[in-house]
């Protein structure tokens, strides 16, 4: 009887540790993928090809079901953003001109392993300047 209570508590703690490990791992991968999309492999970014950029970012995110369809990805010149915080809607995707500071932001769902836990999301951003 006591093992049932202790075992349930232990299983809950173990699942919570696993969930937060997945969350932090996904956040690290998203940050790295956004950095690569803005400073590394930038051909699709500069061509305003949202689909290809989303595919490359989702290719780096492990354990994400239907990432390409569910990721919210947006990019626009930094001057177009308001000073106050804005939600990531994923509706705008346009690289700035040469020498213009541009912000790319993404929001993606994380695999949930804990029963009853609502959908968890990660978000990241990267600022870059398109070369002249």
pLDDT means per 10 residues, the chain with 132 residues, are 83 92 93 90 86 91 84 90 81 86 92 87 91 76
Please give the pLDDT value at position 75. 92
Q: What is the reported pLDDT for 1? A: 72
Q: What was the pLDDT predicted at 65?
A: 74
Q: What integer pLDDT is reported at residue 24 of this predicted model?
A: 93
pTM for this entry? 0.86
Q: What element of type H or E holds 77?
A: strand 72-77
Q: 101 with 127: CB under 8 angstroms?
A: yes
Three-state DSSP class for residue 73 = strand
Instruction: Specify the residue for token string 């696993």.
Output: 18
């Amino acid at each position: 009887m006591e093992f049932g209570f202790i075992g349930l508590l232990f299983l809950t703690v173990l699942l919570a540790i696993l969930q937060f490990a997945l969350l932090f791992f996904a956040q690290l991968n998203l940050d790295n993928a956004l950095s690569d999309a803005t400073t590394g492999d930038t051909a699709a970014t500069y061509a305003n090809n949202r689909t290809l950029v989303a595919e490359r970012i989702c290719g780096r995110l492990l354990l994400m079901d239907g990432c390409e369809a569910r990721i919210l990805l947006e990019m626009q010149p930094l001057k177009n953003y308001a000073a106050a915080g804005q939600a990531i809607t994923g509706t705008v995707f346009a690289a700035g001109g040469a020498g213009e500071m541009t912000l790319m932001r993404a929001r993606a769902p994380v695999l949930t392993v804990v029963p009853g836990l609502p959908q968890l999301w990660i978000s990241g951003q990267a600022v870059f300047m398109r070369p002249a």
